[in-house]
Structure 1
Amino acid sequence: MDRSVYVAMTGATQIMRAQAEVAHNLANANTAGFKAELSAFQSLPVQGDGLQTRINGVAQGTGWDTTAGNQMETGNDLDVAVQGDGWIAVQTPDGTEGYTRAGNLRIDADGLLTDAKGNAVLGGGGPITIPQASSVKIGADGTISVVPLGESPATIATTDRIKLVNPGNDQLAYAPDGLMHMRDGTQAPADAGVKLVSGALEGSNVNPSDVLVKMISLSREFEMQVRSIKAADENAQSASKLLQVG
């Protein structure tokens, strides 16, 4: 009986892990540029002495959904959406290079161009700094143009160009910081073929209805595993009583 309890307990634990991933996707249904994480249950034999007659269902990540989210017009000059394949390069707090499609950019108090999480957006020579200006425009190729304070609108200066990359989705891996990173730890080269749409944002590609259905399904599977544990415990108690009578 302890073996059946172990298998059911393992199943319940793996379902809880899968449920946590589903909840994470649902929580980011309105996050700009978010890509849903994917997972699936795989059958793995229980390792140990004797015949491998017991199988555990293990939840394992299978990657992320590469589908682009819906494009939303915002009219904000610092909002950009990547057209087609491609990513915006940013610098994480530990100095490594990450990639995002969340184009809701900001300018902090020091003039540093960042994403919504505070990661510095990278340009041709590193993090991009925006001088004080009356207006800031981002072109389709990532070029940043500003009108300096006190100057006429006709006076336009180019400050830098956002690093846009397209290494291929198979070369990228989802990291705990919510960004994509190169699987081999290198930095992706800039790709002039990647284009931006200014004044727009790419929404999350999470479908709330599908995620809710999956969450309900996992909850029912968890209840089934718990009932299996209880049934195994009741059978063990019944067997114990029979032995006592004998």
Structure 2
Amino acid sequence: MDKSLYIGMSGAKQNMLAQRAHANNLANVNTTGFKKDFTQARSMPVFGEHFPTRAYAMTERPGTDLSPGALMQTGRDLDVAVQQDGWMAVQNNLGEEVFTRSGSLQVDTNGLLRLASGEPVLGNGGPVALPPYERLLIGADGTVSIVPIGGQANELVQVDRIKLVNPPAEALQKGEDGFIRRSPDQAIDEPEPVDVNLRLNSGFLESSNVNAVEEMIANLQLSRQFEMQVKVMQTAEQNSEATARLLQNL
């Protein structure tokens, strides 16, 4: 009886964790460039100084769906979307190089090109810094050009180039901050090399690759599974009480 109780208890707990992952996917259905997480459950033996007669359920995040989302036209000069299976390199709060496909950019008061969430966008030699300008243009190859203050409309000056990278998909993982990075076992000692073949669509944003209907159905299924696990625990408790009464009557 304690076997079924343990399975029901661990199963209910892991159902809740899986629901949290799908709820996070659903909450980010409108987040630009968001990549949904997969969930998976499996049976694991309980190790220790006893016979291997106990098992528990474990839900883990086996990976992230890196497939691209749909392109949304905005017409804004500072909105960009990566055309192929590549990434833009940005700098997170810890100073690490991480990757994203969220291309909603802005320029702060110091002239730094940043994501809408505030992380600096990396260029050829570090964060992209812009002098005062009248207009900013981002080319298909990531080139950042400006029309200087007082300059003619066709007087473009190249300032920097957004760093576009394309590491192997199997080497990538998503961190808790939502950014993509190399997994520890696939890390390299030098910065990620630039892929000159990647291109940007200016005036577009990439939507999330989350399917809201699929995530809602998955949450409903997990809710039903949770109810089933609770019933298993209730049945185990009832069987335990019935066994105790039988033993009392002996």
CA distance in 2, matches of 1:202, 1:11: 36
CA distance in 1, matches of 2:201, 2:230: 50
CA distance in 2, matches of 1:233, 1:148: 76
Q: Which residue of 2 aligns with 1:130?
A: 130
Deviations 1:92-143 (A, max 9, x none): 1111100000111111121111112211000001001122211111000000
TM score, norm. by length of structure 2: 0.94
C-alpha contact (below 8 Å) 2:6/2:56 kept by paired residues: no
Query: CA RMSD, aligned part only?
Result: 1.3
Q: Which residue of 2 aligns with 1:162?
A: 162
Deviations 1:206-236 (A, max 9, x none): 0000000000000000111011111111111
CA distance in 2, matches of 1:93, 1:133: 27
CA distance in 1, matches of 2:220, 2:61: 19
Q: Which residue of 1 aligns with 2:202?
A: 198
Deviations 1:145-199 (A, max 9, x none): 1111222212211110000001121121111111111223333101101110000
Q: Which residue of 1 aligns with 2:187?
A: 185
Q: Which residue of 1 aligns with 2:212?
A: 208
Q: Which residue of 1 aligns with 2:229?
A: 225
C-alpha contact (below 8 Å) 1:93/1:119 kept by paired residues: yes
Q: Which residue of 1 aligns with 2:247?
A: 243
> Secondary structure of 1:120's match?
coil
Gaps of 5+ in 1: none
Of residues 97-106 and 56-65 in structure 1, the stretch that sits farther from structure 2 once superposed is 56-65
Of residues 169-178 and 42-51 in structure 1, the stretch that sits farther from structure 2 once superposed is 42-51
Shift of residue 49, structure 1, vs aligned partner: 4.2
CA distance in 2, matches of 1:167, 1:121: 18
CA distance in 1, matches of 2:242, 2:21: 38
Q: Which residue of 2 aligns with 1:92?
A: 92
CA distance in 2, matches of 1:111, 1:185: 31
TM score, norm. by length of structure 1: 0.96
> Secondary structure of 1:57's match?
strand
CA distance in 1, matches of 2:171, 2:232: 42
> Secondary structure of 2:8's match?
helix
> What are the within-5 Å matches in structure 2 for residues 48-63 of structure 1?
48-63=48-63
CA distance in 2, matches of 1:213, 1:149: 54
Aligned residue type for 1:144: V
CA distance in 2, matches of 1:57, 1:5: 12
CA distance in 2, matches of 1:93, 1:170: 25
**1:18 partnered with 2:18:** yes
- Runs of 4+, deviation exceeding 6 Å: none
Shift of residue 245, structure 1, vs aligned partner: 2.7
C-alpha contact (below 8 Å) 1:105/1:115 kept by paired residues: yes
Q: Which residue of 1 aligns with 2:5?
A: 5
Of residues 59-68 and 202-211 in structure 1, the stretch that sits farther from structure 2 once superposed is 59-68
Q: Which residue of 1 aligns with 2:238?
A: 234
> Secondary structure of 1:41's match?
strand
How many corresponding residue pairs? 246
